[in-house]
């Protein structure tokens, strides 16, 4: 085999299992891991994208912050309401009628 062929063969990890389990150098620097940027891939409808752009324009905030707020809202509502009531709430939201949703929330009385 020539040197050219050696360059194409990937090197195997020669360390121990403990080395693999250690956090990377970035985490060791004491950064706030909760605030570290994460890669996100969202598959959303064009309508949802339009709503996100509208919210971004109104709020003047970063889109990632809006997504985080939405996920937190979804998560804690689901925890607080339980599966059945949360499902009903989601169905009310899917109607995309703000007046209907206001009435539904008044009647909900959790």
Q: Indicate yes or no: pTM above 0.95.
A: no
Per-residue pLDDT of 23-44, as tens digits, reads 665 554 555 656 666 666 778 8
On whether residue 19 sits in a domain, the answer given is: no
Total structural domains in the chain? 1
Per-residue pLDDT of 44-102, as tens digits, reads 888 888 888 888 888 777 777 888 899 999 999 999 999 999 999 999 999 999 999 99
On whether residue 101 sits in a domain, the answer given is: yes
For the chain, give the DSSP string.
Answer: --HHHHHHSPPPP-S-HHHHHSPPHHHHTT--TTTS---------HHHHHHHHHHHHHHTS-HHHHHHHHHHHHHHHHHHHHHHHHHHHHHHHHTT-HHHHHHHHHHH--
pLDDT at 60: 79
On whether residue 5 sits in a domain, the answer given is: no
On whether residue 66 sits in a domain, the answer given is: yes
On whether residue 20 sits in a domain, the answer given is: no
R_g over Cα of the chain: 24
On whether residue 82 sits in a domain, the answer given is: yes
- Domain boundaries, position 63: 40-108
On whether residue 75 sits in a domain, the answer given is: yes
């Amino acid at each position: 085999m020539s040197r050219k062929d050696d360059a194409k063969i990937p090197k195997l990890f020669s360390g121990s299992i403990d080395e693999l389990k250690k956090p990377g150098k970035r985490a060791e620097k004491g950064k706030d891991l909760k605030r570290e940027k994460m890669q996100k891939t969202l598959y959303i409808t064009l309508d949802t994208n339009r709503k996100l752009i509208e919210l971004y324009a109104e709020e003047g905030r970063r889109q990632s912050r809006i997504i985080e707020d939405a996920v937190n809202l979804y998560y804690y509502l689901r925890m607080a309401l339980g599966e059945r009531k949360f499902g009903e709430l989601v169905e009310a939201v899917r109607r995309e009628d703000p007046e209907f949703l206001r009435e539904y929330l008044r009647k909900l009385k959790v």
